[in-house]
Each structure stands twice: as structure tokens, then as C-alpha cells.
Amino acid sequence: MNPKIPVIRVGDVLELKKPHPCGEKRFVCRRVGSDIRIICLGCGRDLTIPREKLEKSIKKIISASSSNGSEA
């Protein structure tokens, strides 16, 4: 496995390096393919981004399956 390539699954929350214009940096993944569809948690707008481009802009993936993803 290559740790540089993040595994994105439907339902995961992605924290991106660049925030949405509304100020929110977290997005929920709704569809995974050659393009990835994400929904902004701040304003609810959905975006479709090519996987290659999205992978580069991910800061952190908060997996939906982990019971405790908090690092605080």
C-alpha cells in the first residue's frame, strides 16, 4: 500500500487544505469514481472534483467507520 494515496470511501468526511468559500473545510464524500462528489458540511452545496485533483487537496480523512476519530 502506498500511504501517499488516500483511500476515500462514501460517507467519509474529508478535510481539505483549501476551505470552501463559505469557510467550511470539511466535506462528506457521496460518490467515488474517476470523479468524486463531495458535499460541503457548511452550506450543503455539492461539488464534483476529479479524483486526482481532490487527492492532492486532502488534508485529512475522517473515516465514517471509525468510532472515535477525534485526536483532540
The site for Zn ion (CB under 5 A) is made up of 20, 22, 24, 40, 42-43
Residue 22 or 64 with smaller CB distance to Zn ion? 22
Distance CA 20, CA 63 (A): 20
Residue 10 or 22 with smaller CB distance to Zn ion? 22
List Cβ neighbours of 22 (8 Å cut-off, separation of 6 or more). Answer: 40, 42, 43, 45
Distance CA 72, CA 56 (A): 24
SS3 state at 36 = strand
Minimum distance between the CB of residue 6 and Zn ion, rounded to whole angstroms? 21
Residue 19 or 50 with smaller CB distance to Zn ion? 19
Minimum distance between the CB of residue 45 and Zn ion, rounded to whole angstroms? 5
